[in-house]
A = this chain, B = another copy of it.
Amino acid sequence: MAKEIKTIGVLTSGGDAPGMNAAIRAVVRKSLANGIKVKGIMKGYNGLLNEEIVDMDARSVSDTIQRGGTVLYTARCAEFRTPEGQQKGAEICKKHGIDGLVVIGGDGSFAGAQKLAALGVSTIGVPGTIDLDIACTEYTIGFDTAVNTAMEAIDKVRDTSTSHERCSIIEVMGRDAGYIALWCGIANGAEDILLPEKYNHDEQVLINNIINNRKKGKKHHIVINAEGIGHSEAMARRIEAATGIETRATILGHMQRGGSPTCRDRVTASIMGAYAADLLAQGKSNRVVGYRNGSYVDFDIDEALAMQKGINDYEYSVSRVLAI
């Protein structure tokens, strides 16, 4: 029989992502509407273990939906990866009367939620990562803002790259996943896209493509390089040496994690946060919220963590055909 939930906690964990505040706001306000009290846990599992826990009401999240970052802060926490840390976390939840917990983050954060669920704290994961690398859902909070930030920066680099007839290598985030790189590659009309899932490290193919494009009269050559491949500076030096074409690397870096969230991120985060609050109110535990087939759904965390996804072959092949 489902446990009755009187008080929940909410935390953000792992790398921050734009829209996390919208998700927190939704968890708080929907839970209050469901008659459930809410506590905010600062700095992820770290703050849980340090008991950095504050009461939240509807006004605690006023004027936050449009803000980047996370008002609850975030951190990685080595201690919580140990059974002792997890046990301690569950006990602190009980001590503070926290019956349920919404964890906004990525796969690593959900693994922690899974452990707490096994220790009797009802947990729900909400997918918040700019990397889009959570297999159970078509969308993760933050991806849209990150790709738009990267795309706009690349549009600007392209302007100056064209003016100077340069080759530009632009490194985007995404850790081991190439989704940000693929989307920017398509959206910026990049001449080359290097994805961890696809790149065979044959740099001569890249060099030949650059030389051929210059022969065809193209004024710029944009290479989007994924973080999972990296080493953009050295790559730029090698390409310049091999092609004789001035080549510059730009590593977009942390700006991709910040900024006011886009409409898609605010809306998705709001619905996912509310949905998570409702799952707890219904007595559910060990679930991850997802978006699939036009609807919000939920999966068992164990099942979710076992799923796989990858780059869509048709989309990748289209990206290559359009960049002629």
Interface residues, chain A, with chain B CB atoms under 8 Å away: 12, 16, 18, 25-26, 29-30, 32-33, 43, 58, 65-70, 73-75, 138, 144, 147-149, 151-165, 168, 183-184, 186-189, 219, 248, 250-251, 253-260, 262-264, 266-267, 270-271, 274-275, 292-296, 312, 314-315, 318-319, 321-322, 324
Contact = CB atoms under 8 A, between A and B. Distances in A.
Interface majority SS (helix, strand, loop, mixed), chain A: helix
A73 B156 contact: no
Contacts of A73: 162-165, 219
A322 B29 contact: yes
Given A253-B250, A254-B157, A258-B155, A267 B183 contact: yes
A44 to B, nearest CB: 10
Given A30-B322, A155-B258, 7 more contacts: A73-B165, A73-B219, A147-B263, A156-B258, A160-B254, A271-B314, A292-B293
21 contacts: A16-B163, A32-B324, A69-B163, A70-B163, A148-B263, A151-B263, A153-B153, A155-B259, A156-B258, A159-B257, A159-B259, A160-B254, A186-B271, A187-B267, A248-B253, A250-B253, A264-B264, A270-B318, A270-B319, A274-B322, A293-B293
A274 B186 CA distance: 12
B156 A318 contact: no
A236 to B, nearest CB: 11
Nearest to A26: B322
Nearest to A137: B294
Contacts of A292: 293-294
Contacts of A318: 26, 30, 270-271, 274-275
Contacts of A250: 251, 253-255
A37 to B, nearest CB: 15
A257 B33 CA distance: 34
The 7 residue pairs across chains A and B that have the minimum distance between CB atoms: A159-B258, A156-B258, A68-B159, A69-B159, A160-B257, A187-B266, A16-B163
Contact of A271 (B12, B65, B254, B315): B315
A138 B267 CA distance: 15
A289 to B, nearest CB: 13
Contacts of A219: 73
Contact of A65 (B25, B189, B296): B189
A12 B260 CA distance: 26
Given A70-B163, A75-B164, A292-B294, A274 B321 contact: yes
